[in-house]
């Protein structure tokens, strides 16, 4: 029995280790019939939604329609094995598709084998970069992208995507990588409008907008059960595809009226493809791949965390990097292009009752059957219908309220959001996302380089010390207590020095300076050198330098050097203790008149 118990313990230990790398070994152990039923229902609903969406996003990326379906099969399965979110649905999304078009559009001619090679290579580079970040646990780097900047970029991208699809709605040849180019091209080709295409595109767009807002209430008013009504409402795009395809087939609109249709779509399994390792191509794509990876990861993790919180579950961001990386590598070897977790399809997957990532694997089976059996049926699908699907989907991403919110809350964030939107619209997505990344980092550096600091005094009758500009407090004219509300590092060390010297110069009676450190989590070498310089300069002026409320890990670091041995004053456990020991007497104490804001 003991041997059997030991063997079972070893087996559990092995499975637990595997589960850290492949979460399928975690949730798979508890998979039951109820989860199977819920996952199958969710898979059916998401598959119905993904077929037209995948085709549309592939065209947005400048690739053949079938590429979107291929990019939705292997990536979903690989994410189910390596990802940690129970509801995230991985595949082509609007913003990444637009970034893909911008990255590969100038490399090869549309529809050429070279373009497809560039797409799979881009997916491979993106996947490799994400896996690398996950292995070295660098997921925290994505935190340097501020949410307002990301919201601004997505808003501008939504506008560009919608504008880029107007050519399909109008049935004209137009293009451009940014808003001025798109507007100019559309204006120049207005005389070429195909009125039949325009009628199809406008009708499909209006219908899809109505489906989004009005179909669900209508179905519920007939007494239909909410779950069934939800399924039918989600199938709205499929209805638009079916009706417009049927009309185009019956009236032979592609030949009789020049309506552009999807055309021949290869029938069968996704092809096995190999990314290129040409130094020239890799050099052209590595930058866009990094940007696509970052934007895709931020969007995916945001969605995954939101959905996980609803069921009190958790995701592991570093493992998410590996899951998304594996999904993109899978896309590279099966004729796809870069993918990430999509908000709309993930919410549908969640609302449809998906219990585990197995729902994604079942969705992949449904899409595989569609690729093998249904592709001949979409030959006459008008491109205007797919354009309408994209426009309706991306306009929900456009959120100008972020400008109002940031203007009211933080002018620095408002400037960053405005700059990101403007640069994305005027110069394209690559410039916009690069600017967004740089602006996010600059905002962080600017804010942390000018930390909030406050001269504090004792609230009368208490042991609490508060900002003299906000509260009525007691202060000792011979003691300056400065509270720093930020970790001290190379970017803000000089600011601390300069600010403290100015305060000391304005107080001729000063005998003691106390640096209050309750919010200081780190003091790097540059900041330590600044503290040493402050100590020496104050000592030369006859002023004693003290520290108070220093956190344990910071004290541990300070003890490694000789700063504490040369400190002219003391390190106090609390500011109250410092105030009692350094008090000069009643004659040197006054009460400030400032009231709380």
Largest CA distance in the chain: 100
Question: How sure is the predictor about 8, in pLDDT bands with cuts at 50, 70 and 90?
Answer: low
Percent of the chain beyond pLDDT 70?
95
Range from 62-66, 224-228, 498-502 carrying the lowest mean pLDDT: 224-228
Mean pLDDT of 360-378: 90
Could you tell me which of 256, 267, 258, 234 has the C-alpha nearest to residue 379? 267
Name the DSSP class of 591. E
Q: What pLDDT is attached to residue 529?
A: 95
CATH 3.30.750.24 fits 453-591, yes or no: yes
* pLDDT tens digit sequence for 321-345: 999 999 999 999 999 999 999 887 8
Give the DSSP H/E element, type plus range, for residue 479. strand 479-484
Q: Is the pLDDT of residue 583 over 80?
A: yes
User: Residue 206 above 90 pLDDT?
Assistant: yes
- pLDDT(2) > 80: no
pLDDT given for residue 212 in this prediction: 81
Token pair of 542, please? 């006859």
pLDDT at 213: 83
Helix (H, G, I), strand (E, B), or coil: what is residue 111? coil
Residue 100 has what pLDDT?
A: 94
Helical H segments across 450-524, by residue range: 493-505
Distance CA 174, CA 466 (A): 63
16 pLDDT above the threshold of 70? no
What is the spatial distance between Cα 396 and Cα 104, in angstroms, rounded to a whole number? 26
Highest mean pLDDT: which range of 16-30, 95-109, 417-431, 531-545: 531-545
Do 327 and 79 contact (CB within 8 A), yes or no? yes
Task: Say if residue 96's pLDDT is above 60.
Answer: yes
CA distance 203 to 166: 14
Taking Cα atoms as reference points, which of 376, 406, 83 lies closest to residue 245? 376
215 secondary structure, DSSP code: I
Q: Is the pLDDT of residue 287 over 90?
A: yes
For 112-135, what is the mean pLDDT? 95
Tell me the C-alpha distance between 133 and 71, whole Å.
22
- Are 105 and 336 spatial neighbours (Cβ–Cβ below 8 Å)? no
In this prediction, residues 152-173 reach a mean pLDDT of 91
The model's pLDDT over 142-157, given as tens digits with 9 standing for 90+, comes to 777 778 888 888 899 9
- Dump pLDDT digits (tens) for 247-281: 999 999 999 999 999 988 888 889 999 999 999 99
Helix, strand or coil, per DSSP, at residue 273: coil
Q: What is the pLDDT of residue 493?
A: 94
Average the pLDDT over 359-381 and give the result. 90
Q: Where are the domains of the chain?
A: 19-441, 453-591
Q: Record the pTM.
A: 0.80
Characterize the bridge pairing of strands 479-484 and 453-458. Answer: antiparallel
How many Cα neighbours within 13 Å face the side chain of 234? Answer: 25
pLDDT of 12 strictly over 70: no
Residue 532 has pLDDT above 90, yes or no: yes
Task: Place 123 in a pLDDT band, splitting at 50, 70 and 90.
Answer: very high
How crowded is residue 581: how many other Cβ atoms within 10 Å of its Cβ? 12
Q: How far apart are CA 176 and CA 183, in angstroms?
A: 8
pLDDT beyond 50 at 597? no
Q: What pLDDT shows up at residue 596?
A: 46
Cβ(293)–Cβ(130) below 8 Å:
yes
Q: Residue 591: which pLDDT band, with cuts at 50, 70 and 90?
A: low
Q: What is the DSSP string of 30-95?
A: G--HHHHHHHHHHHHHHHHHHHHHHHHHHHHTTS-HHHHHHTTTHHHHHHHHH---SS--EE--HH
Alpha carbon distance 385, 206 (integer Å): 11
Structure tokens given for 8: 């079972």
């Amino acid at each position: 029995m003991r041997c059997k118990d030991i063997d079972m313990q070893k087996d559990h230990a092995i499975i637990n280790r595997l589960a850290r790398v492949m979460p399928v070994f975690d949730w798979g152990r508890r998979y039951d019939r109820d989860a199977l039923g819920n996952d199958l229902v969710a898979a059916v609903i998401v598959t119905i939604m993904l077929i037209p969406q995948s085709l549309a996003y592939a065209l947005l990326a400048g690739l053949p329609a079938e590429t979107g379906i291929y990019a939705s099969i292997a990536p979903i399965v690989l994410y189910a094995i390596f990802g940690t979110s129970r509801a995230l649905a991985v595949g082509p999304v609007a913003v990444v598709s637009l970034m893909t078009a911008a990255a590969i559009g100038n490399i090869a001619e549309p529809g050429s084998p070279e373009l497809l090679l560039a797409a799979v290579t881009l997916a491979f580079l993106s996947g490799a970069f994400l896996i690398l970040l996950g292995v070295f646990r660098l997921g925290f780097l994505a935190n340097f992208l501020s949410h307002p900047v990301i919201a601004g970029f997505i808003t501008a991208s939504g506008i560009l995507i919608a504008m880029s699809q107007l050519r399909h709605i109008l049935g004209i040849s137009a293009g451009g990588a940014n808003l001025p180019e798109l507007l100019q091209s559309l204006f120049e080709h207005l005389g070429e409008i195909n009125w039949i295409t325009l009628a199809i595109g406008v009708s499909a767009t209006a219908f899809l907008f109505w489906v989004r807002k009005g179909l669900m209430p209508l179905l519920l008013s007939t007494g239909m059960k909410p779950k069934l009504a939800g399924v039918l409402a989600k199938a709205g795009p499929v209805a638009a595809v079916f009706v417009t395809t049927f009309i185009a087939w019956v009236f032979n609109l592609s030949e009789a009226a020049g309506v552009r249709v999807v055309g021949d779509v290869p029938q069968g399994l996704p092809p096995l493809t190999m990314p290129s390792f040409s130094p020239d191509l890799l050099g052209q794509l590595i930058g866009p791949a990094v940007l696509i990876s970052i934007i895709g990861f931020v969007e995916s993790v945001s969605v995954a965390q939101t959905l996980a919180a609803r069921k009190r579950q958790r995701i592991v961001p570093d493992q998410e990097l590996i899951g998304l990386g594996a999904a993109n590598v899978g896309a590279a070897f099966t004729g796809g292009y870069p993918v990430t977790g999509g908000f709309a399809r993930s919410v549908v997957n969640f609302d449809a009752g998906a219990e585990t990532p197995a729902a994604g694997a079942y969705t992949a089976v449904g899409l595989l059957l569609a690729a093998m059996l249904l592709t001949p049926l979409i030959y006459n699908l008008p491109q205007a219908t797919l354009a309408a699907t994209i426009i309706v989907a991306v306009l929900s991403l456009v959120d100008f309220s972020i400008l109002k919110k940031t203007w009211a809350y933080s002018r620095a964030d408002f400037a960053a959001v405005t700059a990101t939107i403007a640069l994305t619209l005027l110069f394209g997505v690559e410039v916009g996302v690069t600017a967004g990344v740089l602006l996010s980092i600059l905002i962080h550096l600017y804010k942390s380089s000018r930390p909030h600091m406050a001269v504090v005094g004792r609230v009368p009758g208490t042991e609490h010390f508060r900002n003299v500009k906000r509260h009525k407090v007691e202060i000792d004219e011979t003691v300056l207590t400065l509270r720093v509300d930020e970790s001290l590092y190379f970017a803000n060390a000089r600011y601390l020095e300069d600010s403290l010297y100015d305060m000391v110069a304005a107080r001729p009676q000063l005998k003691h300076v106390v640096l209050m450190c309750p919010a200081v989590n780190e003091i790097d070498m540059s900041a330590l050198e600044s503290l040493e310089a402050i100590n020496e300069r104050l000592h030369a002026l006859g002023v004693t330098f003290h520290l108070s409320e220093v956190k344990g890990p910071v004290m541990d670091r300070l003890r490694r050097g000789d700063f504490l041995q040369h400190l002219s004053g003391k390190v106090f456990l609390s500011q109250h203790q410092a105030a009692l020991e350094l008090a000069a007497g009643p004659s040197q104490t006054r009460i400030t008149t400032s009231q709380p804001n």
